[in-house]
Structures are given as structure tokens and as C-alpha cells.
Amino acid sequence: MKRIYFFIVAISACASVARAQTDDAMLSQYFAALNYYNPAYAGKSGELNTMALYRMQWLGVTNAPRSICVAADMPWKYGKIQQGIGIVVVSDKLGLDENLSAGVQYAYKRKLGKGTLGIGLQAGILNKVFRGDSINIPSGSEIVTPDDEALPQTELDAMGIDMTAGIMYYGDRYFVGIGSAHLTAPTLNLDENTERKIERTYNLTAGYNMQLKNTLLELQPSVLVLTNLQMVSADVTARAVYNKMYNGGLGLRISDNGKLNSATLYLGAFIKGFRVGYAFEFPTSAMNASAGSHEFAVSYHLKLNNRKGLKNKHKSIRIL
């Protein structure tokens, strides 16, 4: 039992190190939270968008990751300049590690050819907590002892400035963007013996809306590639949309060695401004013995009408 316990602790520590290198939540429904990866997407849709996402990862594994992402964005026009603004807050828990990040976004947009070019910047904070006071060391352990100075046994936390930047280009039916998170690459000093280096990460997002012969059907392939220049992960997704209301599809997550890590089933609906989505991610790697991951997302989209002449427009009560 002791060996099993320390094996679980070691695996959690390795996972914590890997996640600390990116400090990015793993989202199956990345296409619903594009401005989380790239602030240039803020204001892209021309609507006021609010989104909340909850992810339960690796069901059946003790202290498995749990992620919450809340975001909002909208277009903003100043004179003739098209812009976008947004906000993103993410809470991510893995074992004894907890990350909380929050940032505000600005995007400058300009017509270029048949599409629009966007350049975005996000500024915010990243707070990391390590709950050393929750470490459970079995009595009689010969590997780790309670008085081991290398093992923090109190709650530690540290905060740093976090920056994200990106560019994107989009048209009526396509988008492509490149972003970079943790530009400042902060080193968070939890205490005099413990520090966490937050590495820069880079991502590529792209998608296309393909109208099929059946006018009620639309195919929406998309891709997300994440890397910290040491490891690479790619999500490839294909969703079909029926009558602009219901959608479903499949996705694959592939590692840098070309192996399939997981397969994802997507279901969703868009009704009266609300968009709901569900994703079930099933692990295919032999190293992952969990029962899969569940992810729920809900968003609200409000059309903004800025046309002139409508501010005080009304009808006579005689013809209502």
C-alpha cells in the first residue's frame, strides 16, 4: 500500500510539473473559448458573448484535475477603429496544486483583403497555491518523513504578472490564429525553498465552416495545437451542425510522438441566444486508467445593433 501511495504521489508530482510548465487548463471545447488561448479573438463575433465552462478530468482518479473557465468579450468601436475587449478567469486544480488566473483583453482589428486581421493583448495575474498542509504521509514511512525539509507541509502561495498576446485572421467562414501565453515567464517563489517557473506556451487555432449540399447541414472542422517547445499536443475536431441549432461530432487528441491520447464525443445546441455543449473525452493511452473526462459549457450571445438612426426609433400607437 505504501508503494502504491508513493506511486500515486509521484505521478501527481510529475503531472503537476507538466502542468506547471504550461499552467493552461486542458479544454476539449476549445472552439467555445478561443479568446482563452488568444486575446485577438475578443470581439470577433460582433456580439456580446459570455461563457462558463466546467471540466471534470480523469474520473475515478483521486485529486484529479478540475477546471473552471469564465469569459466574456464584445466588439468596441472608437471612431472608425474596430476593436474588441474581453475578460477571462480560469481556476485550475490538480492534486495539491491550485492555479487562478485572471486577465483583461484588448484587440485591434483592421480589414485586410477579404478578411479581418486582429492583434490582441491580455494583461493579468497568475496565482499559484500549493496545499502542503494536505499531504498525507503514512506512519512508518521510510521514503518520506514528516520532518523532511524538502517537503512543504504548510499552504504556500505566490502571485505574478501574466501576459498573453496573439494575432488572428478571419473571414465569414474561416479563422486562423497564433497566440503565446505567459510572455513574462514569471518565477513564483512559494517560499525560500520552493519556486515554480512558468514557461511560455504557444498555440495555433484554426477552423472552417463548410456548407454541404444539404442546406440544413454544415461541417465545422477545427484544430488546436499547443506547445511549450518541449512537448506538443494537437486536438483535431470535426462537428456537424444541423439547421444552425444542433451539433455533434468527434475529436482526437494527438501527442508529439504521433500517438493518440484520447477521443472526444461532442454534443450541443443553440437555442434563443443560449449555446450549451457537452464533451466526453475517453482516454486511449495505456498510462491513463481513468473513466474519462466530462466537460460542460454554456454561453449566451447577444446581438449588438449599432446602426445609426435606431436609438430613438418608435412607431405610432395608431399603427401598433
Shortest CA distance to 20 belongs to which of 145, 158, 121? 158
Report pLDDT for 156. Answer: 86
Q: Report the pLDDT value the prediction gives residue 95, as an integer from 0 to 100.
A: 82
3-state secondary structure 93-150: EECCEEEEEEEEEEEEEEEECCEEEEEEEEEEEEEEEEEHHHCCCCCCCCCCCCCCCC
pLDDT along the chain (320 residues), means of 10: 37 38 78 95 94 92 88 91 95 89 96 95 94 67 57 81 97 96 90 84 96 92 94 95 95 89 96 94 77 94 67 47
Encoded amino acid at 166, one letter: G
214: which 3 cell numbers? 444539404
Task: Give the integer Cα–Cα distance in Å for 241 and 224.
Answer: 19
Grid cell digits, residue 51 = 461563457
Q: How far is CA 65 from CA 1, 11, 159, 226, 238, in A?
A: 23, 13, 21, 18, 25
Q: Which residue has the cell 471534470?
A: 56
The pLDDT assigned to 22 comes to 52
Q: How far apart are CA 300 and CA 86, in angstroms?
A: 14
pLDDT at residue number 1: 37
* Cα-Cα end-to-end distance for the chain: 77
pLDDT score for 192: 76
How many Cα atoms are found within 13 Å in the side-chain-facing hemisphere of 256?
8
**pTM for this predicted structure:** 0.82
